[in-house]
Amino acid sequence: LVGGVSVLLNPTHFISFSKAGMLSPRGVCRSFDEGADGYVRGEGAGLIMLKPLRQALRDNDKVYGLVKGVAVNHGGKVATVTSPNPFAQARCVEMALRDAALSPAAIGYIEAHGTGTPKGDPIEMNALIRAYASQARAQGVELAARSCAIGSVKTSIGHLEAAAGIAGIIKVLLAMKHGYLPPLLHFTRANPRIKLEGSPFHFVEQGQDWAPGPDGVRRAGVSSFGFGGVNAHVVLEGFEEPPTRQAQQTDGPLLFVLSAKNRESLARYAGSLAQYVAGPRERTWDRPFSLAALAHTLHLREPLEERVAIEAQDAETLCRALNAFAAGQLEPGTWHGNTRAGAGDSVGA
């Protein structure tokens, strides 16, 4: 399990950061914008589970993405904590690309640190440009203009500090899942110190579809730089379930288990689930609806006292049984009971 937590419990750091000119007086994060005037502190928590891919597939887990490369280094001594070392940042990005054994041309998006400070943002972009140019020369590849988008979740949720890195990773995994890149909020014009000419980068000024690379795979880099000098960069790759695995999940009847605190709540739950299963799915970025995935998710939920189990092989049978239970009836293949002693069980067979 890998994650981070940021909770703001006292004003001490607000006061010191404000005196140092690090915080935005307007309370707005404008990453890479000419109007950037400081960062915005945020609260949040994030957690992901890492597993070898073979084990995750064997355990029937939902895989959101693959970690291809990781690098961490330190910028060493600098004049102030607000003056990061661009050479160390560039080396960190290069190390991650080498660890991933990927060309910089394969990366279609960078989730930047993007604190929204007038000095830190240009330093970060110059380091990225330096790293990608260096790796392109070393590998003898050409980097097409506007081939790699730049964004930062900090414009939406602020700087989560100790949880900033995990927030960026979760954002990228969700963007891969939906095939969509959210915009940089509050962005109007780039900081004049940032020169993107001749580089592959462009800012996500408006939300846009995220097209896969030439090989049909989405890849991204995620940066998280601490103001103490620690730099981290992760290279992520999208993942699609093998067709053979999807086919195996639909074979044979499935068992759908629901539970609630009482009979009335369970009936409402069943009715709502029936509406969801039977409802339209118009959002094109959703994966195909899977009864196997639904059954698996229901099995993972914490069981409560009032319970019902339904055996079904298709959506029509499941909806009919759910609606019948919501109406106080039991279809064949439905089992209902309560774990409290003496509550009695009713079974449909």
Q: What is the pLDDT of residues 36-66, one digit of tens each?
A: 999 999 999 999 999 999 999 888 888 999 9
Structure tokens at 103: 């060309």
For residue 284, name the pLDDT band (cuts at 50, 70, 90): very low
Q: Answer yes or no: is pLDDT of 287 > 80.
A: no
Backbone φ and ψ for 341, nearest 5 degrees, come out as -60, 130
- Looking at residue 328, the DSSP 8-state letter turns out to be T
- Residue 243: the pLDDT is 58
Average pLDDT over residues 266-275: 96
Residue 247 has pLDDT above 60, yes or no: no
Place of tokens 């981290």: 232
Range 67-75 average pLDDT:
97
CA-to-CA distance for 147 and 19, rounded, in angstroms? 39
Average pLDDT, the chain: 91
Rounded mean pLDDT, 177-189: 96
Per-residue pLDDT tens over the stretch 4-27 = 999 999 999 999 999 989 999 999
Inform me whether the pLDDT recorded for 28 exceeds 80.
yes
Helices (H) and strands (E) in the chain, counts: 10, 14
Tokens of 39: 């960062």
Q: Which residues contact 283 (CB under 8 A, 6 or more apart)?
A: none
Q: Give the lowest-confidence range in 126-140, 163-177, 209-223, 282-296.
A: 282-296
